Chain A
Amino acid sequence: MSTPAPRQLVVVGGGMVAHRLVEALVDRGGVADGGWQVTVLAEEPRAPYDRVALTSYFSGRDPQDLALGDPALWDTPGVQLRRGEQVTEVDRAARVVRTAGGREHGYDALVLATGSSPFVPPVEGKDLPGCFVYRTIDDVAALRQYVTEVDTRRKDGAHPRPVTGAVVGGGLLGLEAAGALTALGVQTHVVEFAPRLMPLQVDEGGGEALQRLVGALGVQVHAGTATAKLTAGRDGRVARMHAAEGSAAGLTHLDVDVVVFAAGVRPRDELARASELPVGPRGGVVVDPSCRTEDPAVWAIGEVACLDGRTWGLVAPGYTMAEIVADQLLGGAAEFPGADLSTKLKLLGVDVASFGDAFGTSPGALSVVYGDPVAGVYKKLVLSDDARTLLGGILVGDASAYAGLRPLVGRELGGDPAAWLLPEGAEGGPASAELPDDAAVCSCNNVTAGSIRDAVRCDGCADLGAVKACTKAGTSCGSCLPLVKKLVTTELAAAGVSVSSALCEHFDVSRAQLFDVVRVTGITSFSELVDRHGRGRGCDICKPVVASILASLDSRHVLDGERATLQDTNDHVMANIQKDGTYSVVPRIPGGEVTPEGLIAIGEVARDFGLYTKITGGQRIDLFGARMELLPAIWERLVAAGFESGHAYGKSLRTVKSCVGSTWCRYGVQDSVALAIALELRYRGLRSPHKIKLGVSGCARECAEARGKDVGVIATDNGWNLYVGGNGGFTPRHAKLLAEDLDTETLVRTIDRFLVYYVRTADRLQRTAPWLEEIEGGLDHVRAVVLEDSLGIAADLDAAMADHVEGYTDEWRATLEDPEKLRRFASFVNAPDSPDPSLSYVVERGQPRPSTAAERTAGEATGAVLVAGPRLEVFSR
């Protein structure tokens, strides 16, 4: 069987767009085996790389890191990449290209992907040593080497002064170069001929804002200034830049050590010109919408192509052209659909975005402008003449609204356009509800508004977490989360699901907001709070929340005065209600360490009061079946034996579980028990939105299962690793690493801050895992707050924890000392010591348990099986 001879495809230039073309051809199975034999002739000595990220070379990135895609692409059979091979001639008649090295490559199809060269204005001295361009890895490597060399000479010289540099051109490329120079420690000037920076992307107002922001970073901007010539110093290197007469601010010259030309690019269309292919009025190989030149065997793509009468200086349209040619070479009919020249960049750390008709050139276009000179923010929206349809815009200093706005170009904005420009625009804008379904909301994972809506509408996702899991939106960089949350909320509301953040019918605000209200107003009672900031008399939802908030903000006894009426029965009698209306009692056993005497004391109490005993998952002992009126007598005995409340009843710290650690375990590297005890004693009684559990393991074997806790600590050779956000229960979660190798003091301070920040900002009944998921910025944000004090509140958090530690008293001991508080334990107001007559028990495995309904019926009939209950003998000492 004979296969047809493969057709030869020659690609001139090995840049970004050439790379995409080869990738697309291979992906579509168009290479080898009866397809194309591809030869890429690349002038540069390396495989195609990410030119857009060129500047990251200065932040220490290895040139290898700039590689594009999978390097194995170039090992694909049928693909040949020839580096360092410059094409000097195209012979269209013979269908052959010739290289500088004298080789010939015949072609059936030829693609020109030669990109652009930097434009260097024809000024005197432009070729002096110390003058650079900014296009290739070799360019930036040479620039860096030169600057380092000058810098070293300066430091060793008699008059050390910093290296000074000038960038010619204040556009996108110029600001990139300025950023690179600044990163090298160079005192940088930017010289721009136009009256403002980035003249192609932003208008005057935007340029001013940009200039202020860039200036604040130490870069001096000279707009409205033309470079007349460059002159050398005695060493023959560039030393002075002379400004043309009439330059703004009367600038005559700058003394510089290095000059970078970044004044635009020119298409490298020389091969086409020499072979008499038509070029555009301002350069570029003229192609039709299928990217074909006048010669049907020759294509041009990327920055060298002149399509629709212009060249395209961004990578995205180039990639589109590459896909088109791949399609055409395989017999398809794809054509250029037009390109979106919207840009969003972070230049020198400053947000700049421009999209659509940024300059308002459409007939009748209106502009809405918001400027905040102090914050260095400038935002402009261009609208149709009826002020309804969005045509374009410019955002400088804060481009957070870009993601929401760009997909709306050409559509009705809905609502007041100004609302998009105010700082809240960062939330995704007021009109996110009207985002079209095809608008990309999460760009990392390419999730559209429509798929987020579908997740709620069709897949039944009922909260942000579920939508994230289902669509992957917001799971990479997380910057779109505010917008995703808004869409989810809107969609849920539309579906009739109530997503109001109101706590209940009595308070319109969330727990976190209510916390702030209490903190700011200093209100100390529920009555005053509900009177001034709510309505009605509260309920079983808001009252415990307020009780917990009040308890967090001062350390009065939880049963003081009116506060007693806010507490669930568990908190009210400081025990856990069980199914028959009796309670269970849990004394604190810090770190799970207990003496034999302690165990005996607990055992005696259990025996004397007829309590069922069981070891809990939190390494302590639970005593069941305690009648309310007996709780004080039980606790009198426990307190006398040295025990205190274990807060098993509260939304508060439960236990700090620990393994035995280095004191006994042959693997342990730190004393996990001592740390667990210290932590438990520190955080005991801390009231919070939900229960909190901690764990400490003495080595990486993790016997304490610390990563299943809200706060987990695992010993390392050098200290402790801290994990947060774990839990068991209905939705088990593993805790995530917050910080590594902390010493004990730093560890405790970090946990302090983490806990107080959680207590202050979490929702009612929200454990740490969902809290971390929902809080804006997630774990990284919390890490910044507790370790780097990014919100400037660390001192406040520390003080709050110090207050807690100092204000702690054992609630049970305090209760026993106060006859007023003891009154609540009466079983009946008119028969304070009478047991509830309906209780009854049977014995199972040597211990009492509540009788079942069937046993009760049978018992009443025979009067036989029931024990205990009211008839149980109680020894009270």
Chain B
Amino acid sequence: MTATLPPETTAQTGWTAVCRYTDLQPERGVAALVGDQQIAVFRLFDGSLHAVGHRDPVSGAHVIARGLVGTRGDAPTVASPMYKQVFDLRTGVCLDAPDDSAVRLPVHPVRLRDGWVEIGSGG
């Protein structure tokens, strides 16, 4: 659990490095603390990165990163570990209630740079 932090955060660009790409196990999320925001970060089987809000809008608990990752049709998904709602990792939309804007995860920009996973803050 050491040396996961980059030497500095690059706040002026709006990007925060949270971990090395190789720290992420495919299809198992992690939570990251960016400022006072809790963010769930996923590396998928195809190698792509996704970042959504860590707070489960249904239970109010911060648990989304601990959900099971999978697919529904073409959509990469995470299922909340609390009451099992399934969210599209690309859009944050809850696939079980696509029209309910209250049950939706915020999506955060995420990128890979020099082996580091960076979350875009603010946008």
Kindly report which residue of chain B lies nearest to residue A834, judged by CB atoms.
B33
The answer to whether the Cβ of B10 comes within 8 Å of any Cβ in the partner chain is: no
Given A537-B45, A543-B68, A581-B63, CB of A828 within 8 Å of CB of B31:
yes
Residues from chain A with Cβ under 8 Å of B79 in the complex:
539-540
Interchain CA distance A875-B55 in the complex, whole Å = 28
Is B90 on the interface with A (CB-CB < 8 A)? no
Bound complex: CA A824 to CA B25 (Å)? 10
Known: A577-B82, A836-B38. A830 touches B62 (CB 8 A): no
Cβ contacts under 8 Å, A853 to chain B: 60
Q: Is B28 located at the chain interface by the 8 A CB criterion?
A: yes
Q: Is B105 an interface residue (CB 8 A)?
A: no
Q: Tell me which residues across on chain A come within 8 A of B1, comparing CB atoms.
A: 822-823, 826, 832
Contact B86 A540, beta carbon cutoff 8 Å: yes
Are A540 and B72 CB-contacts (below 8 A) given A826-B1, A834-B33?
A: no
User: Does A538 lie at the interface of the complex (its beta carbon under 8 Å from any beta carbon of B)?
Assistant: yes
Contact across chains for B70 and A539 when beta carbons are under 8 A apart = yes
Give Cα distance in the complex from A834 to B26, angstroms.
24
A selection of 24 A-B contacts at a CB cut-off of 8 Å is A505-B73, A537-B27, A537-B44, A537-B69, A537-B71, A540-B68, A540-B86, A542-B70, A565-B26, A577-B66, A577-B81, A579-B61, A580-B61, A581-B62, A581-B82, A822-B1, A823-B1, A828-B32, A828-B38, A829-B18, A829-B31, A832-B1, A832-B4, A834-B33
Q: Using an 8 Å CB-CB cutoff, how does the interface string of A799-828 with B read, 1 for contact, 0 for none? A: 000000000000000000000001110111
Determine whether the beta carbon of B66 is less than 8 Å from that of A572: yes
| B23 and A829 contacting across the interface, CB-CB below 8 Å | yes
Q: Is A537's CB under 8 angstroms from B31's CB?
A: no
Within 8 A of A (CB), among B1-52: 1, 4-5, 18-19, 23, 25-28, 30-34, 36, 38, 41, 44-45
Contacts of A544 in B (CB 8 A): 68
A823 nearest CB across to chain B (Å): 6
Query: In residues 514-562 of chain A, which contact B (Cβ within 8 Å)?
Result: 527, 536-540, 542-544, 562
Instruction: Say whether B67 faces chain A, with CB atoms less than 8 Å apart.
Output: yes
Q: Most B CB atoms within 10 A — which of A537, A562, A830?
A: A830
Pair A564/B25 contact, Cβ less than 8 Å: yes
Minimum CB distance partner of B80 in chain A: A540
Interface hits, B53-89 → A, CB 8 Å: 55, 59-63, 66-73, 76-77, 79, 81-82, 84, 86
- Determine whether the beta carbon of A569 is less than 8 Å from that of B67: yes
- CA of A505 to CA of B77 in the docked complex: distance in angstroms? 13
Q: Give the distance to chain A from B90, nearest Cβ to Cβ, in Å.
A: 14
Q: Are A539 and B86 in contact (CB under 8 A)?
A: yes
A815 to B77, CA, bound (A): 28
User: Count the A residues whose beta carbon is within 8 Å of the partner chain — how many?
Assistant: 40
Known pairs A829-B23, A838-B62; A536 contacts B32 (CB<8 A): no
A644 at the interface (CB under 8 A from B): no
**Contact call B66/A539, Cβ cutoff below 8 A:** no
Closest to A577 in B: B81
Chain B residues near A338 (CB, 8 Å)?
none
**A400 CB → nearest B CB, Å:** 42
Complex Cα spacing A371 to B86, Å = 53
Which partner residue on chain A sits nearest B17 by CB separation?
Answer: A830
Residues of B within 8 A of A536 (CB): 70-73
A837 on interface, CB distance cutoff 8 Å: yes
User: B68: which of A568, A828, A831 is its contact (CB, 8 Å)?
Assistant: A568
CB distance from B123 to the nearest CB of A (A): 19
Q: How large is the interface on B (under 10, 10 to 19, 20 to 34, 35 or more residues)?
A: 35 or more
Q: Report Cα–Cα, A577/B73, bound state, in Å.
A: 28
Cβ contact within 8 Å between B18 and A577:
no
**A829 and B41 contacting across the interface, CB-CB below 8 Å:** yes
**In the complex with contacts A829-B19, A829-B30, A538-B61 CB distance below 8 A:** no
One of A565, A822, A829, A837 near B4 (C-beta < 8 A)? A829
Report whether A830 and B18 are in contact in the complex, using a CB–CB cutoff of 8 Å: yes
B73 smallest CB distance to A (angstroms)? 8
Q: 0/1 per residue, A681-715, Cβ < 8 Å to B?
A: 00000000000000000000000000000000000
In the complex formed, the residue of B with least CB distance to A570 is B81
Chain B residues within an 8 Å CB radius of A580? 61
* B69 close to A831 (CB less than 8 A): no
Residues of B near A566 (CB, < 8 A) are 68
Closest to B85 in A: A540
Docked pose: A433 CA to B49 CA in angstroms: 50
Q: Measured between C-beta atoms, what is the minimum distance from B97 to chain A in Å?
A: 16
Chain B residues near A832 (CB, 8 Å)? Answer: 1, 4
- Nearest CB on A from B86, distance (A): 7
B64 (CB) vs chain A CBs: closest residue: A581
The CA-CA distance from A543 to B84 in the complex, in Å, is 13
CB atoms of A826 and B30 under 8 A apart? yes
A543 to B1: give the CA distance in the assembly, Å: 27
Give Cα A834 to B18, complex, Å. Answer: 14
Could you mark each residue 84-106 of chain B with 1 if its beta carbon is under 8 Å from any beta carbon of chain A, else 0?
Answer: 10100000000000000000000
Give chain A residues whose Cβ lies under 8 Å from the Cβ of B55. 838
Query: In the assembled complex, which residues on chain A have CB atoms less than 8 Å from the CB atom of B32?
Result: 828-830
Given contact pairs A539-B71, A540-B86, A836-B62, enumerate 6 new A-B contacts (beta carbons under 8 Å). A536-B70, A543-B70, A823-B1, A829-B30, A830-B33, A838-B55
Would you call B4 and A830 a contact (CB within 8 A)? yes
Write out the residue numbers on chain B whose beta carbons fall within 8 Å of the beta carbon of A579: 59, 61, 82
Q: Which residue of B lies closest to A825 (CB)?
A: B1
Q: Which of chain A's residues has its CB closest to B6's CB?
A: A830
A547: nearest chain-B partner, CB-CB: B68
Pick the contact of B28 from A539, A542, A564, A834 — CB < 8 Å? A564
Expressed in whole angstroms, the minimum distance between the Cβ of A852 and any Cβ of chain B is 11
Complex Cα distance, B63 from A539, in Å, reads 17
Closest A residue to B44 using CB positions: A537
When chains A and B are docked, how far (Å) is the Cα of A537 from the Cα of B63?
21
Chain B hits for A628, CB < 8 A? 66
A851 CB to closest chain B CB, in angstroms?
A: 12
Q: CA of A540 to CA of B77 in the docked complex: distance in angstroms? A: 10
Given the complex, which residues of A lie within 8 Å of B59, measured CB to CB? 579, 581
> For B69, what are the chain A residues with a Cβ–Cβ distance below 8 Å?
537, 565
B residues less than 8 Å from A539 (CB atoms): 68, 70-72, 77, 79, 86
Q: Are A830 and B81 in contact (CB under 8 A)?
A: no
Select A568's contact among B23, B62, B81, beta carbons within 8 Å.
B81
**Cα-based distance from A570 to B76 in the complex (angstroms):** 22
| Residues in B whose Cβ lies below 8 Å from that of A572 | 28, 66
| Interface positions of A from 822 to 868, Cβ below 8 Å from B | 822-824, 826-832, 834, 836-838, 853
CA distance A577 to B61 in the complex (A): 11
CA separation between A828 and B73, bound complex, in Å?
30
Residues of B within 8 A of A827 (CB): 31
- The interface centre, meaning the residue of A537, A569, A827 with most chain B CB atoms within 10 A of its CB, is A537
Are the CB atoms of B5 and A830 closer together than 8 Å?
yes
Chain A residues with CB below 8 A from B36, complex form: 837
Q: Please report the C-alpha to C-alpha distance between residue A438 and residue B120 in the assembled complex, in whole angstroms.
A: 69
Nearest A residue to B24 by beta-carbon distance?
A: A829
CA distance A119 to B69 in the complex (A): 79
The chain A residue sitting closest to B1, CB to CB, is A832
Q: How far is the CA of A537 from the CA of B79 in the complex (A)?
A: 13
Distance between Cα atoms of A830 and B84 in the complex (Å): 26
Question: Could you say which residues of chain A place their CB within 8 Å of the CB of B82?
Answer: 577, 579, 581
Most buried by A among B45, B61, B63: B61
Residue of B nearest to A838 (CB): B62
The distance from the CB of A606 to the nearest CB of chain B, in whole angstroms, is 22
Residue in chain B with minimal CB distance to A572: B66
A540 CB, min distance to chain B CBs, angstroms: 4
Distance from A394 Cβ to chain B, minimum over Cβ atoms (Å): 52
A828–B119 Cα distance when bound, in Å, is 14
Give the CA-CA distance A831 to B4 in the complex, in Å. Answer: 9
Across the A-B interface, give the 6 residue pairs with the lowest CB-CB distance, nearest first: A581-B61, A539-B70, A540-B79, A829-B30, A536-B71, A569-B66
Residues of A contacting B26 in the complex (Cβ-Cβ under 8 angstroms): 562, 565
Looking at A562, A581, A831, the one whose CB has the most chain B CB atoms below 10 A away is: A581
Cβ contact of B70, chosen from A537, A569, A826, A838, cutoff 8 A: A537
Within the complex, the shortest CB–CB distance from B30 to chain A, in Å, comes to 4
